[in-house]
Amino acid sequence: MWDNLSIKEVAECAKDPYPSIRKWIKDNGKKAIGSTFADVPEEVIYAFGFLPVTIMGTNKPLKKAPSHLPDNACSLARSNLELVLSYEGDIFDGFVLPQVCDTTQHLSDIWRINFPDKYVESYLAPRQADRPSARYWVKEEIERIISSLSNWSGKKIVEEDLREAIKIHNENKILLKEIYDFKRNNPSALTNKEFFALMKLSQQVDKAELNQSLKKIKDSLQAGKNDGYTDVILVGITCDPPEIYDLFDEINLNIVGDTLLVGTRYIQGIVPAKGNPVDALTERHFKRGFFSPIHDNVYKNFEEVKALYKETKAKAIIYVHIEFCESQEYDLPDLKRMIKNEGILMHTLDTEYQTLSLSHVRTRLQAFFESLKGGSL
Amino acid sequence: MSPTSKEMSKKITDEYMDEAFHAHERGKLIGYSTAISPVELFVAHDIIPIYPENHAVANLTAKKGAELCSVVESMGYTNHLCAYARSDLAYRKTGITVTKGIPEPDLFLACNAQCFTLTKWFQVLARKGNLPVFVFDTPEHVMDSNTRKEIVKYCVLQLKELISFLEEVTKRKFDYDRLKEVMKYSAESSILYKKFLDMAQYKPSPISIFDALIGMAIAVYRRGTQECVDYYQTLCDEIQAKVDQGIGVLPKEKEKYRLYWENLPVWFKFSDHAKLLGSYGGVILTSLYVHAWSFEFDLDKDPLVTLAENYVSRFSNSTIEDRADMATELFKKYSMNGMIMFMNRSCKAVSFAVPTLKEILTKRTGIPALVFESDMGDQRFYSETQIRTRIEAYFETLDRLQA
């Protein structure tokens, strides 16, 4: 189903992947396990023969979520809850939900209470990452998730199952990285929206199949005229709704680097192929870049962003703020100050998952980049 | 004549703050701590714990919230972050406070059993002074008993890391014997503190939640000391004397509604709420919040194990199902017949559980709930007329049900 998609078809499917997921699990007699952001070891779920699906909110109206989570809760959390309560819950046989902040901690509980007949497990990610105990805990948690899935499904997995899952997931990330490298230097080859659709869909559908499409897409990419683009990097957690990428494309921005969970931070999840697979998955956890809820050092985030900015020779940073994301909101004033002190231009986009009109975002973005063209660009 | 608990509280607090303000002269360090943190390790290592939350409460209770929170918004922080954090960051910028302020920190201990927000707030403060922060990460106290055991192991590992961290910062060896002594005081005062809270079981209740909120202060910042034990002993004796004389917050014949409160208080409406509810025959008796410092340390266990077990299992780090069980227990124990559920915009860690908790508790107890939304410290989110009307309507409902 996903093994022969063109780039346009991927973009279309990524807009609403759930009908195809629903059909695929029915046709293949598989079970889907949903997760929210971030860092659930999806290779483990895959090794059991389940389809891991990262749930990334819905643009459909909120009907039920507001009675569970008030309006000052992170809009991604409310949107994810709405997606399963009102729209796509039937697809999933179970969920593995990471807890990385107060909101996701409550979300796990609310989810479990609302789906008493489904498998709901929490992935208790460590919210510190620099001490040996964090490494100990990640390994414990991965082993616990394996044991929990095994108890629920009655299946056992062996090292070879995990290795095979890791291989497929690594291949997916390597393909995405290669496409990203091409896009970086050849922005006319595919739009930002198309590229990030590849990233998004990779986290939602069967990777063994999608990898076939990615290979063909990669081989079909052609260099074209690359004049008139402005290179920028995206900083944040996610970037939604996807129409925001249309705005970038409209004004010829070329995203040459990012720190998003739906971007580079996913690609950074390539797992070392050698050694014990659980150890390798543990190791991977610490190789990924900054993620505000679990990393405490905004200087590190700043250094990462600065290095990316220099490496890619970008002209500006676009910071994507998710409305009511507490973690980002504590970090942002200092991060902004550090970036400003470095003389780097930065534009902050305030996003909300249920946003229907992007006119205000468009106006501010256009104004920012018009002023750039009159100045340093 | 022996001092009263009020006199003792003032003396303990004055001496504590005096010592804190002169800490460096006496060769001691100031450690900022979250209120629910294994502060026993600080006390045992002669680090003076300071709780920016307590200072924030003083300012918010004195109605400084809106003024301070407006300042912090001009610094780039949004108005829906915790009012403790917002008012504190504004205090650092403006110096505005109704107290003498608090001493500057040398290090930070942030335990996320209370909330995730505090760790982010402390990180902001630490960045300003380039100071060390130790995050004591407490995964949710999930319901599976095997997982709980693993969580405790992880927490014990971290407590050992915390001890190494303290040794490194202070260049002094940690004294485990001293920790055992501190644990003994902490265990004793916790038992007495719980006894004090549980006196709300009597009819009429000799204390309301407002007494509990005042009475909990010493447990928060002086636990692990002999004076803390002495204070709660005196407080319990005083309340017992009231019980013996039949003295209640309201006279027995006027105590109609024994109420449960969910969440932190609306600090700037503290006394207004007590008076308003009292006029309807209502007394708020308790909440999960005030019980957060009712530790049950087991002195027969390794101190690090019993510390880990206690801190990880606070209500604020428990599942909603467990919170509902804890609250149900309080309903039975205190014979409560009403509940006020406060959706506190400032406190996501407590408030995001409220809608689900309300559903469970009303179903289990058959008691209707009053739910209202506001902010614990920022008056701009408090609608006087609307909340008063809702309180009046709620008591009318209770009256009808009782009739």
Q: Identify whether A182 is part of a domain.
A: no
Q: Identify whether A11 is part of a domain.
A: no
Average pLDDT over chain A, rounded to whole?
94
Contacts of B41 (CB under 8 A, 6+ apart): B159, B162, B163, B166, B174, B179, B307
Q: Are residues A226 and A361 in the same domain?
A: yes
Write out the DSSP string of A162-222.
Answer: HHHHHHHHHHHHHHHHHHHHHHHH-TTTS-HHHHHHHHHHHTTS-HHHHHHHHHHHHHH--
Task: Report how far residue B85's alpha carbon sits from residue B87's, in angstroms, rounded to the nearest whole number.
Answer: 6
CATH of the domain at A334: 3.40.50.11900
Residues of A in contact with B80 (CB under 8 A): 72, 324
- Of the candidates B316, B264, B327, B290, the residue with the CA atom closest to the CA atom of residue B211: B290
Asked if B127 and A334 come within 8 Å (Cβ–Cβ), the reply is yes
> Is A133 touching B (CB cutoff 8 A)?
yes
**CA torsion, ordered A5, A9, A15, A18, to nearest 10 deg:** -50
Asked if A330 and B123 come within 8 Å (Cβ–Cβ), the reply is yes
Residue A375 has pLDDT above 60, yes or no: no
Q: Are residues A32 and A115 in the same domain?
A: yes
Tokens of A164: 């095979």
Q: Identify whether A213 is part of a domain.
A: no
Domain termination residue (choose one: A160, A183, A205): A160
Which domains does chain B show, CATH number per domain?
5-402 (3.40.50.11900)
A376: pLDDT confidence band, cut at 50, 70 and 90?
very low
pTM for this entry:
0.95
Exposed/middle/buried for B375, CB within 10 Å: 0-12, 13-18, 19+?
Answer: buried
3-state SS class at A225: coil
> Is A275 touching B (CB cutoff 8 A)?
no
Q: How far is CA B168 from the centre of its chain?
A: 30
Q: What strand order describes the sheet that includes A346-351?
A: A253-258, A230-236, A316-322, A346-351
Given B123, B154, B320, which is nearest A109 (Cβ)? B320
Task: Report how far residue B232's alpha carbon sits from residue B288's, in angstroms, rounded to the nearest whole number.
Answer: 19
Beta strand residue intervals within A224-369, DSSP E: 230-236, 253-258, 316-322, 346-351
Give the structural domain span for A128: 24-160
> Is A73 touching B (CB cutoff 8 A)?
yes
Q: What would the pLDDT profile of B181-218 be if each residue is shown by its tens digit?
A: 999 999 999 999 999 999 999 999 999 999 999 999 99
Given A73, A110, A326, which is nearest B120 (Cβ)? A326
Other Cβ atoms within 10 Å of A204 Cβ, number: 23
Asked if A109 and B356 come within 8 Å (Cβ–Cβ), the reply is yes
Q: Identify whether A238 is part of a domain.
A: yes
Q: What element of type H or E holds B222?
A: helix B217-222
Q: What would the pLDDT profile of A213-243 be if each residue is shown by its tens digit?
A: 999 999 999 988 888 999 999 999 999 888 9
Other Cβ atoms within 10 Å of A273 Cβ, number: 11
Number of domains in chain A: 2
Domain termination residue (choose one: A160, A180, A197): A160
CATH of the domain at A30: 3.40.50.11890
Contacts of B150 (CB under 8 A, 6+ apart): A140, A144
Q: Are residues A154 and A233 in the same domain?
A: no
Task: Report how far residue A106's alpha carbon sits from residue A125's, in angstroms, rounded to the nearest whole number.
Answer: 14
The whole-angstrom distance between A120's CA and the closest CA on chain B is 12
In the prediction, which pLDDT does A220 show? Answer: 96
From the candidates A72, A120, A123, A146, which should be mutated to test the interface with B, based on the most B CB atoms within 10 A? Answer: A72
Residues of B in contact with A296 (CB under 8 A): 119, 123, 133, 135
Q: Identify whether A94 is part of a domain.
A: yes
Task: Report how far residue B31's alpha carbon sits from residue B12's, in angstroms, rounded to the nearest whole number.
Answer: 18
**For residue A283, is it left (φ>0), alpha (ψ between -120 and 50) or beta?**
alpha
A364: pLDDT confidence band, cut at 50, 70 and 90?
confident
Q: Identify whether A19 is part of a domain.
A: no
What Å distances lie between residue A218 and A141, A184, A193, B384, CA to CA?
A: 36, 13, 16, 62
Q: What would the pLDDT profile of B370-399 be if each residue is shown by its tens digit?
A: 999 999 999 999 999 999 999 999 999 999
Q: Are residues A234 and A147 in the same domain?
A: no
Residue A331 has pLDDT above 70, yes or no: yes
Asked if B352 and A106 come within 8 Å (Cβ–Cβ), the reply is yes
Chain B residues bordering chain A (beta-carbon distance below 8 Å): 75-78, 80-81, 85, 112, 115-117, 119-121, 123-124, 127, 133, 135, 137, 139-140, 142, 147, 150-151, 154, 157-158, 161, 319-321, 343, 345, 348-349, 351-353, 355-356, 373
